[in-house]
Amino acid sequence: MTDAGTASRAAVERIYREEYGRIVASLVRRFGSIDIAEDAAAEALLTALERWPADGVPPNPGGWLTTTAGNRAIDRIRRESHRDAKHQAALMIEDDTPHESTGVVEDDRLRLIFTCCHPALAPEARVALTLRLLGGLTVAEIAQAFLVPETTMAQRITRAKKKIAGANIPFRVPGPADLTARLGAVLAVVYLVFNEGYLASSGEHSVREDLTAEAIRLGRILRTLLPDEPEVTGLLALMLLTESRRTTRVSADGELVPLRDQDRGGWDRALIAEGHDLVRACLAVNRPGHYQLLAAINAVHTDAPEADATDWSQIAALYDQLYAVAPSPIVALNRAVAVAELDGPAVALAQVDRLDLGGYHAWHATRADLLRRLGRSAEARAAYDAAIAATDNPAEISYLARRRDQLAR
């Protein structure tokens, strides 16, 4: 394939991935089948790969892909068994009869998220299915993100789709009476989609802006739907404040830039202002929950004009509150980073070494930094090696390798 052909194919695949969630959600609404939606979307991609390099990208590529996929879905329905009944169904789909109301929010992707997050599905299946259908990640990418074999993830996703079909789980946002009960799972999945984009642990790129943008878009829709739910506001604030730093997170050379070393002049001040307003709004009306506290921690970081002005006492106190709400070793690890700034690396290292996080790359990276600050270079080098071995993120690997190589021998 020529360089031009390779570039053209890459452009088609990029557009397809960006539009994938919208295409699939639209087709699921129309045809009521996830399998038909996925297959039709894949056929539309093949058609685009055949036509666009020669004909050029259409003015509205997302609309072109959706229309083409819809036509492929109708063709499939007509080919299948029970031809008469399904042919009539296809004709009904093509007419102008308004669709029956599918919930309190007219957004296909949000409806698909609530379907993927139905309580009948296992929690790990909810996230995997959302990443597949909304984020457009391949099964291999999702398996890598979850650290499981690809065959295991494929089976997990297949079972989840069969469960949706077999249990007749509706493609809709639940009614007001059931909405709050289902909200926790939806918020968790939206945040995981955001993190998958921001941390890009499952692919060759350090950041996937399409996923972070999609998660923020869904967060805004959720807040419109539930303006009085503080955790919804907290999640949106958290994503905005995190996103505000995205452009400074990776250097021009493709290396991770830690928060302390980021160019704060490059942070998006509009997102920070919006995030701070949301934090103040949600903390004022409720005992803080998980996302509200994470947002508050990020607000403290983004409020500091320079790293040395960070209010680490406030951050440590917020982590104390967060641990009381959602106790986990990862929360304790993050709190130890604040402790290192307040009480020194030795105190923090003692806390970190008590945590059972040997398989988590950030635990090794934190230990490496604390050991480096204590002058224990040989141990720090081993910890850097362990952190590098535990992550696939190229920007992080580059940063960790450079820090390791700067150690005294």
The phi-psi region of residue 391 (left if phi > 0; otherwise alpha if psi is between -120 and 50; otherwise beta) is beta
- DSSP at 99: P
Examine residue 25 and state whether it is found in any structural domain, yes or no: yes
- Judged against a pLDDT cut of 90, whether residue 345 lies above it is answered with yes
| φ, ψ at 226 (rounded to 5°) | -130, 70
The per-residue pLDDT for 145 is 67
Confidence of residue 2 (pLDDT cuts 50, 70, 90): low
* Both tokens assigned to 251: 């250097």
Long-range Cβ contact pairs of 324-331 (< 8 A, separation 24 or more): 325/288, 325/289, 325/290, 325/293, 326/290, 329/355, 329/356, 329/357, 330/357, 330/360, 330/362
The per-residue pLDDT for 209 is 77
The per-residue pLDDT for 392 is 82
Note the pLDDT tens digit of each residue in 155-214.
Answer: 999 999 999 988 888 877 777 777 777 788 889 888 988 887 787 544 445 567 777 887
- DSSP at 175: P
The rounded percent of the chain whose pLDDT value lies above 70 is 89
The per-residue pLDDT for 167 is 84
The per-residue pLDDT for 155 is 92
Confidence of residue 101 (pLDDT cuts 50, 70, 90): very low
Examine residue 231 and state whether it is found in any structural domain, yes or no: no
Mean pLDDT, residues 139-159: 84
291 versus 208: which is more confidently predicted? Answer: 291
The per-residue pLDDT for 200 is 58
* Both tokens assigned to 100: 């029956």
Mean pLDDT, residues 76-104: 52
Single out the residue of 300, 312, 308, 206 nearest to residue 250, CA to CA. Answer: 206
Q: Return d(Cα 325, Cα 293) in angstroms, integer.
A: 9
Please identify, among 68, 94, 120, the residue that sits at the C-terminal boundary of a domain. Answer: 94
Q: Return d(Cα 140, Cα 151) in angstroms, integer.
A: 9
Note the pLDDT tens digit of each residue in 109-128.
Answer: 878 888 888 888 888 888 88
Q: Which of 91-95, 140-144, 369-373 has the lowest mean pLDDT?
A: 91-95
Q: How many other β-carbons are positioned within 10 Å of the β-carbon of residue 158? A: 13
Examine residue 282 and state whether it is found in any structural domain, yes or no: no
pTM exceeds 0.85? no
* Residues forming a β-bridge with 256: 250
Q: How many other β-carbons are positioned within 10 Å of the β-carbon of residue 162? A: 12
81 versus 142: which is more confidently predicted? Answer: 142
The per-residue pLDDT for 403 is 95
Examine residue 57 and state whether it is found in any structural domain, yes or no: yes
* Both tokens assigned to 222: 């959720």
Q: Return d(Cα 271, Cα 293) in angstroms, integer.
A: 18
The rounded percent of the chain whose pLDDT value lies above 90 is 43
The per-residue pLDDT for 320 is 97
Total number of domains in the chain:
2
* Residues forming a β-bridge with 250: 256
Please identify, among 76, 94, 112, the residue that sits at the C-terminal boundary of a domain. Answer: 94
Please identify, among 37, 72, 94, the residue that sits at the C-terminal boundary of a domain. Answer: 94
The per-residue pLDDT for 378 is 95
Note the pLDDT tens digit of each residue in 220-278.
Answer: 888 887 888 899 999 999 999 999 999 899 888 889 999 999 999 999 999 999 999 99
Q: Return d(Cα 385, Cα 404) in angstroms, integer.
A: 8
Q: Return d(Cα 128, Cα 384) in angstroms, integer.
A: 30
The per-residue pLDDT for 283 is 85
Q: Return d(Cα 282, Cα 262) in angstroms, integer.
A: 28
- Judged against a pLDDT cut of 60, whether residue 16 lies above it is answered with yes
CB 206 within 8 A of CB 200: yes
Q: How many other β-carbons are positioned within 10 Å of the β-carbon of residue 283? A: 19
Note the pLDDT tens digit of each residue in 191-206.
Answer: 988 887 787 544 445 5
CA atoms in the 13 A half-sphere facing the CB of 41: 27
Alpha helices in 32-175 (DSSP H): 34-55, 61-79, 83-94, 108-116, 123-133, 139-146, 150-166
Confidence of residue 102 (pLDDT cuts 50, 70, 90): very low
- Judged against a pLDDT cut of 50, whether residue 322 lies above it is answered with yes
Examine residue 56 and state whether it is found in any structural domain, yes or no: yes
- Containing domain of residue 40, as a range? 3-94
Helical pair 3-31 and 61-79, crossing angle rounded to 10 deg: 60
The per-residue pLDDT for 97 is 34
The per-residue pLDDT for 17 is 78
* Both tokens assigned to 385: 């090696």
Examine residue 54 and state whether it is found in any structural domain, yes or no: yes
**Amino acid at the residue 85:** A
The per-residue pLDDT for 104 is 43
Examine residue 85 and state whether it is found in any structural domain, yes or no: yes
Residue 343 maps to which CATH number? 1.25.40.10
- Judged against a pLDDT cut of 60, whether residue 294 lies above it is answered with yes
Residue 408, exposed/middle/buried by CB under 10 A (0-12, 13-18, 19+)? exposed
Q: Which of 81-90, 271-280, 293-302, 373-382 has the lowest mean pLDDT?
A: 81-90
Q: Return d(Cα 206, Cα 200) in angstroms, integer.
A: 5
Mean pLDDT, residues 90-117: 59
Note the pLDDT tens digit of each residue in 375-392.
Answer: 999 999 999 999 999 988
Examine residue 81 and state whether it is found in any structural domain, yes or no: yes
